[in-house]
C-alpha cells in the first residue's frame, strides 16, 4: 500500500503529517488541491454529511468504509480514516480492518469508548476497560497481517477521566504494538503539552476549531514531538457557514448576485475533473 508507506516514511523522517478533515469526497479533493500531504476522513464530518446528525455512532461499518473508499478514489494522497470502535467484537474488528485495507486507506484509528460512542469533544463519554481495549487493538494488528495499513490507538480518556488516565492508556496502547497513539478530546494548550511531555514515540493530536489549541501552529506541534495533526472540523465548519450565508443572502435579496464568494462554474468543473471524463467520452462514447 503505497500511501501507507509514504506516511511511514514521513514519520520516520520526523516530519509532521498535516491532515485536514474532509466530510466528503469533494472536500477531500480540495484538501489535495491546497497541497496537503494527507486527508483525514472524520467520522464527525461523515455523519454530518451523510445523515445530518451528530457523531453519536449512527453510521455503520459498511457506510463508513464506503465513504472511505469513495474518498480514496477521489484523491491521490493518503486517506486517514476514523474506524470508531471497530463496530463490534473481535470478528467485527477483523472485518473492519480488512474492509479498510480493501478500500485503500493508509491509516485508521480505533477508540476505547463503549457503545453508543460519541464525538471526543462531547460530554458523556464512557470508556471501556483499558485491558479489554488492548486485546481489541492486538486483534486489529493481527488482522492487518502483512499489509502496510497504519493502526492508531485512540483514547478518549482525556475528557472522561483526565490527563493521567489518558496518558496511561496511551502507553498501554503503544505497548500493544500500534503504530501511533492518539489522545483525543484535548481542549487546552496545557493538555496538549502534557501529552507531548509524557508520551514519547509517534503520536497524533487533533486541533479543534473553537478552543484555545488553535493558537498552536504546525511548527509548534512538530517541536513538541507530534507525528500527525488533524484539523477535523475546519473545512466542515467553514463550508456550512458559507452555505448558510449564501442561502440567507438569496432569501433576503432574491438573487445570488452580490452574495458570498464562490467558485465559478469553470473552477468547479476543474475541481471535479470534468475534462478527464469529457476526454473519455470523446474517445470512447457514442
Mean predicted confidence (pLDDT) in 44-56: 94
β-pairing verdict for 228-231 and 150-155: unpaired
| pLDDT(123) > 80 | no
pLDDT reported for residue 225: 98
Residue 276 maps to a domain = no
Mean predicted confidence (pLDDT) in 104-108: 98
Instruction: Print the domain residue range for 104.
Output: 2-240
Residue 270 maps to a domain = no
pLDDT reported for residue 125: 84
Residue 171 maps to a domain = yes
Residue 245 maps to a domain = no
**pTM to 2 decimal places:** 0.95
What pLDDT, in 10s, does the model give residues 230-283? 999 999 999 999 999 999 999 999 999 999 999 999 999 999 999 999 999 999
Among residues 39, 49, 167, 169, the alpha carbon closest in space to that of 104 is found at: 39
Total domain count for the chain?
Answer: 1
pLDDT reported for residue 115: 76
Assigned C-alpha cell, 130:
483499558
In percent, the amount of the chain with pLDDT more than 90 equals 94
| pLDDT(146) > 90 | yes
Residue 76 maps to a domain = yes
Mean predicted confidence (pLDDT) in 40-66: 95
178: left (phi over 0), alpha (psi -120 to 50) or beta: beta
Average pLDDT, the chain: 95
Residue 265 maps to a domain = no
Mean predicted confidence (pLDDT) in 91-99: 98
Mean predicted confidence (pLDDT) in 147-159: 97
What pLDDT, in 10s, does the model give residues 177-198? 999 999 999 999 999 999 999 9
What pLDDT, in 10s, does the model give residues 58-83? 999 999 999 999 999 999 999 999 99
Assigned C-alpha cell, 21:
478533515
Residue 273 maps to a domain = no
pLDDT reported for residue 9: 95
Give percent helix, percent strand, percent coil of the chain, each to the nearest 5. 50, 15, 35
Indicate the range of 52-56, 114-118, 197-201, 260-264 predicted with least confidence. Answer: 114-118
Would you give the distance in Å from CA 248 to the centre of its chain? 30
Assigned C-alpha cell, 88:
463490534
- The rounded distance, in Å, linking the Cα atoms of 8 and 30 is 23
pLDDT reported for residue 131: 98
Q: For the domain that residue 165 is a member of, what is the CATH number?
A: 3.20.20.60
pLDDT band for 119, please (50, 70, 90 cuts): low
Residue 254 maps to a domain = no
In percent, the amount of the chain with pLDDT more than 70 equals 97
pLDDT band for 121, please (50, 70, 90 cuts): low
Amino acid at each position: 500500500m503505497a500511501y501507507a508507506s509514504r506516511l511511514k516514511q514521513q514519520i520516520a523522517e520526523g516530519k509532521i503529517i498535516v491532515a485536514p478533515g474532509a466530510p466528503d469526497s469533494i472536500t477531500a479533493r480540495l484538501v489535495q488541491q491546497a497541497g496537503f500531504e494527507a486527508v483525514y476522513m472524520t467520522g464527525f464530518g461523515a455523519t454530518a454529511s451523510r445523515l445530518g446528525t451528530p457523531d453519536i455512532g449512527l453510521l455503520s461499518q459498511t457506510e463508513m468504509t464506503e465513504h472511505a473508499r469513495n474518498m480514496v478514489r477521489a484523491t491521490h494522497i493518503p486517506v486517514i480514516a476514523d474506524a470508531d470502535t471497530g463496530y463490534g467484537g473481535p470478528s467485527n474488528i477483523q472485518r473492519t480492518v480488512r474492509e479498510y485495507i480493501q478500500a485503500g486507506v493508509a491509516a485508521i484509528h480505533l477508540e476505547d469508548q463503549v457503545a453508543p460512542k460519541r464525538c471526543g469533544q462531547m460530554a458523556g463519554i464512557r470508556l471501556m476497560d483499558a485491558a479489554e481495549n488492548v486485546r481489541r487493538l492486538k486483534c486489529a494488528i493481527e488482522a492487518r497481517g502483512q499489509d502496510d495499513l497504519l493502526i492508531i490507538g485512540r483514547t478518549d480518556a482525556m475528557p472522561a477521566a483526565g490527563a493521567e488516565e489518558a496518558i496511561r492508556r496511551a502507553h498501554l496502547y503503544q505497548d500493544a504494538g500500534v503504530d501511533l497513539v492518539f489522545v483525543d478530546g484535548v481542549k487546552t494548550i496545557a493538555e496538549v503539552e502534557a501529552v507531548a511531555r509524557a508520551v514519547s514515540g509517534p503520536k497524533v493530536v487533533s486541533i479543534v476549531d473553537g478552543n484555545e489549541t488553535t493558537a498552536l501552529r504546525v511548527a509548534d506541534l512538530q517541536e513538541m514531538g507530534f507525528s500527525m495533526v488533524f484539523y477535523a472540523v475546519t473545512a466542515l465548519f467553514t463550508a456550512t457557514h458559507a452555505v448558510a450565508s449564501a442561502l440567507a443572502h438569496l432569501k433576503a435579496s432574491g438573487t445570488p448576485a452580490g452574495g458570498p464568494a464562490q467558485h465559478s462554474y469553470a473552477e468547479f468543473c476543474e475541481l471535479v475533473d470534468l475534462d478527464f471524463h469529457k476526454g473519455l467520452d470523446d474517445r470512447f462514447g457514442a
